Amino acid sequence: MEDTEREKLKEIVEELEGYRGRHTELITVYASAGSNINQITSQLASEQSTAQNIKSKATKNNVIDALEKMVRHLKLYKKLPENGLALFCGNVSKKEGQPDIKIWAIEPPQPLKTKFYRCDQTFVLDPLKQMLEAKEIYGLIVLDRKEATFGLLEGKSIKTLRHITSGVPGKQRAGGQSALRFERYRESLVKEFFRRISEHVKELFFNKPRLQSLLVGGPGPGKEDWLKEGQLITALKNKIIAVKDIGYADEHGLELLVETSQDILAEEALIKEKVLLEKFFTMLAKESEKIAYGSEQVKKALEMGAVEKLLISTSIDKKIRIELENKAKSIAAEVHLISEETEEGIQFKNLSGIGAILRFVI
């Protein structure tokens, strides 16, 4: 999901969160990706019949009117959008006896996995909120000398991908030459297991779309030994942003790894933002002809098709931001929303909050 898509979805979610029905007359419908639009329409028509049983005349009329509005809206589509559709409709009037039936139809930026209908005092927004959380995915690897578990972190969701065991026997208590031979044999099995772990990491994560980084954890020195001896390819080794000591190498270990890495995960998005702003300010100092800032300069650059990256502070007025975003999209420029959570972000805000890295000098 692009920053602009995320920001628009966030604004809609915040708006919908602000509504509360006087009664259970706010309707939420999630049509999952691949759903049959005719089945969704038929279900809503069926709910209109059920709504006839509502005791309160005002509530009954508002629910039936909302359902009718949703059915009419669905008839505008020949089929559901690729990622599904989220519909919200109901009486949002603050005045008793003066209904104001409004509808929102949201084509989500990511595939909807939920098929859902509810009539309540509030809209159900959890599936959209989860999309806001799941900006990037992280590979999870927990291991020791006996087992390894691989998983994915997407938003707050942890998915176990695979679990393997080494088959390495425990240490032999007896001494002598046989014990030394056994220990050499045991260590050869451990090294082979480390190589197998690396093969699984490559298979699971090397060509993974949206993979941001890798997190590694486990009890004891096994994880460090694997990084030294496991022959993990450099491209994946460079993606490792944390190596954590945790007590398990199973599914529970994945949960512990995420829990102990929260500080690092929180910093990741900010680091990317800081790098972008550092580039902007460096170019402003050394290659100012390749930089534009301020509303007028940036608009001129957009109109000339000269913008490569558009930077907009989240403090900028919504209407101005949308206008600039649309101009940027029309020339295939990247759009980056800049927070105020870093010193660089505050500095950028004070420099008008609107800037651009240019494709060519104007």
Question: Do 225 and 300 sit in the same domain of this protein?
Answer: no
Short-list 353, 334, 356, 337, CA closest to 289: 356
Residues 127 and 145 in one domain: no
- Asked if 55 and 173 sit in the same domain, the reply is no
Give pLDDT, residue 134: 56
CA 212 to chain centre: 11
What is the side-by-side order of every strand in the sheet holding 354-358?
291-293, 354-358, 307-313, 334-338
User: CATH number for the domain including 300?
Assistant: 3.30.1330.30
Q: What is the signed CA dihedral for 213, 82, 318, 93, rounded to 10 degrees?
A: -120
User: Cα separation of 362 and 354, whole Å?
Assistant: 17
Any residues with CB less than 8 A from the CB of 37 and at least 6 apart, and which? 31, 74, 77, 78, 79, 80
Indicate the residue among 260, 293, 324 that finishes a domain: 260
Per-residue pLDDT of the chain (362 residues), as tens digits, is 666 777 788 889 999 999 999 889 999 999 998 899 999 999 999 999 999 999 999 999 999 999 999 999 999 998 899 999 999 999 999 888 899 999 999 999 888 888 899 999 999 999 998 888 656 789 999 999 999 999 998 766 789 999 999 988 877 555 555 778 888 888 899 999 999 999 999 999 999 877 889 999 999 999 999 999 999 999 999 999 999 999 999 999 999 999 899 888 877 666 778 889 999 999 999 999 999 999 999 999 999 999 999 999 989 998 899 999 999 989 999 999 898 877 888 999 999 999 999 999 98
Same domain for 13 and 128? yes
CA 269 – CA 262 distance, rounded (Å): 12
Q: What is the CATH number of the domain that holds 95?
A: 3.30.960.10
**Block residue for tokens 């559901």:** 80
Last residue of a domain, one of 211, 237, 260: 260
* R_g of the chain, CA atoms, integer Å: 27
CA nearest neighbour of 201 among 166, 168, 164 = 164
Complete edge-to-edge strand list for the sheet that includes strand 147-154: 157-165, 147-154, 137-143, 211-218, 240-245
Q: What is the pLDDT of residue 66?
A: 95
Q: How far is CA 213 from CA 150, 153, 242, in A?
A: 14, 10, 9
Residues 141 and 129 in one domain: no
Q: Which residues contact 223 (CB under 8 A, 6 or more apart)?
A: 143, 144, 216, 217, 243
Is the domain of 9 the same as that of 106?
yes
* CB-based contact 236:206 (threshold 8 Å): yes
Same domain for 235 and 121: no
In this structure, the answer to whether residues 165 and 238 fall within a common structural domain is yes
Question: Residue with structure tokens 């990491």?
Answer: 201
Q: How far is CA 359 from CA 27, 63, 292, 301, in A?
A: 47, 53, 11, 10
Residues 297 and 232 placed together within one structural domain of the fold: no
228 and 272 assigned to the same domain: no
Residues 129 and 145 in one domain: no
56 and 129 assigned to the same domain: yes
The whole domain housing 28 covers: 3-133
- Of 193, 225, 260, the residue that ends a domain is 260
- CA dihedral over 213, 218, 221, 227, signed as positive or negative: negative
* Structural domains in the chain (count): 3
- In whole angstroms, give the CA distance from residue 84 to residue 112: 6
Among 235, 256, 229, 231, smallest CA distance to 244 is for 256
